Amino acid sequence: MVFDSPGVTPLNPARDSGWNLHHSYTGLPEMFYTKVAPTPVSSPRLVVFNRPLAERLGLSPDALGGEEGAAIFSGNRLPEGGSPLAQAYAGHQFGGFNALGDGRAILLGEQTTPDGVLLDVQLKGSGPTPYSRQGDGRAALGPMLREYIISEAMAALGIPTTRSLAVAETGERVFRQDGMLRGAVLTRIAASHIRVGTFQWAAAAGGESTLKAILGYTIVRHYPNLADSENPALALLKVVIDRQAQLVAQWMHVGFIHGVLNTDNVALSGETIDYGPCAFMDVYDPATVFSSIDRNGRYAFGNQPAITEWNLTRFAEALLPVLDAKEEVAIAMATEALEEYEAAYGNYWLVGMRKKLGLFNKEKDDLSLVEDLLEWMHQTGRDYTNTFAALSQLGPVDDRFLEWTERWKARLGRQTQSLEESAQLRRDSNPAFIPRNHLVEAALAAAQEDDLAPMEKLLEILANPFDHSRAAPEYQQPDETGGGNYRTFCGT
């Protein structure tokens, strides 16, 4: 089935913008995608363009930083080699299984970078597809700029993530819960958009042959070293379990809350994907939820490790037919692999927390040292980021917590590394700056009035999150109102 939109023209190949697009995804069975063109917009305008990322991709920032970029990044013009399609997948959304697909996203192709890396180039908010489920296929300017800010902040923090190349305004309005809003398209760059939900779709709608197809494609695309494994499906399951354990531990280290951790938002590449109702926690509380649609706290900050294990279990279920011909054997294999998750997550989390405390070696009481600090932070309503940042200097100064501070300092004294080496490890592991929710909202509000200065300044600060020498206290303080009523939205 071809779901075409008129008016989209190819790029004039005489203008060398550096595009090197191909589409290996079309080698999969057609049940995994539908060819569909972006819907043209009336007045495209480039709002923000990530020049350093463009250069990394082998693109020409000068060629794409003006009208040509606005046309391409809005979906009005296809880049050379672009072959747009919408991907099909399924997913458990808040525990309920649904057939899904790219309802407002179109994959233009895969760009081969100068260093030989293959990266997806996707337009988000580029119009309806066969998977839109009665949605308009569009996106509003605010949520697209929000994804730009948060994904770039995550990249600077060293956390695997999709990236944002550009946001283009469409000149058209979209209707959302806040009324009529300015429309926009985000250009997202990803290692791929293969999800747990992609495998769920293959298992539910295709069967063993389609599972083998997406299994083989995923291994070639991301884990070619697994190709010669005795059981490639089992090998893939194990490596994805490990990647996700590590990723979620990294989220927990910086207080990041994904907000909508459905199975269709778990990328097999191990990247953070889909910045909808995401946010960063200020005051430490494991029950923190910002998402307006997460009314029961399913995806609360403290629930993210367990929910990830739940999602991985759904991945294992989808893989059962290709794990082994005998279902009971396949279940045993999957169960054994999943039993490794808790230990893997716990190890990644504790390794990171040791670094945040400036600890190079291991001692048996380190876990209780970390847990006691978190409990104190919870009881006293301390800011998560700033408390750890303070450890880079003198540690928490509070008469009620002198006993912990003395334990911590004694622990530091039992290392062979110097106190300065420990302090440097803490500075390298504890960000001084995160995307504070009130600052993000202020930047988005200003952008709605065509004032991009606050956003540009915020992006500049967030590009160097571990710069503890920078004097910018206004970017380090939590919301003075406490942020208790702060809510985030998906933007659909």
Q: Which residues are catalytic?
A: 264
Tokens of 114: 């100068």
Tokens of 36: 């569909």
> Cβ contacts of residue 37 below 8 Å, gap of 6+?
3, 4, 5, 8, 75, 78, 84, 106
DSSP strand pairing (33-36 vs 2-3)? parallel
Please tell me the distance from the alpha carbon of residue 38 to that of residue 362, in angstroms, as a whole number.
Answer: 53
Please tell me the distance from the alpha carbon of residue 11 to that of residue 26, in angstroms, as a whole number.
Answer: 21
Q: Three-state SS for 304? A: helix
Tokens of 191: 């290692």
Q: Dmax over Cα atoms in the chain, in whole Å?
A: 70
DSSP 39: P
Tokens of 171: 């000149």
Which residues, in sequence order, are bridge partners of residue 93?
A: 96
User: What is the C-alpha R_g of the chain?
Assistant: 23
Q: Phi-psi region for residue 37, left (φ > 0), alpha (ψ -120 to 50) or beta?
A: beta
> Cβ contacts of residue 236 below 8 Å, gap of 6+?
215, 218, 219, 223, 226, 268, 319
Closest CA to 255 of 483, 470, 481: 483
- 452 in Cβ contact with 407 (< 8 Å): no
> Cβ contacts of residue 261 below 8 Å, gap of 6+?
299, 304, 307, 308, 311
> How many CB atoms are closer than 10 A to CB 271?
21
- 64 in Cβ contact with 17 (< 8 Å): yes
Q: Three-state SS for 92? A: strand
> How many CB atoms are closer than 10 A to CB 190?
21
H/E element, 198: helix 196-205
Please tell me the distance from the alpha carbon of residue 149 to that of residue 153, in angstroms, as a whole number.
Answer: 6
> Cβ contacts of residue 401 below 8 Å, gap of 6+?
376, 380
Closest CA to 139 of 186, 100, 177: 186
Type of residue found at 219: I
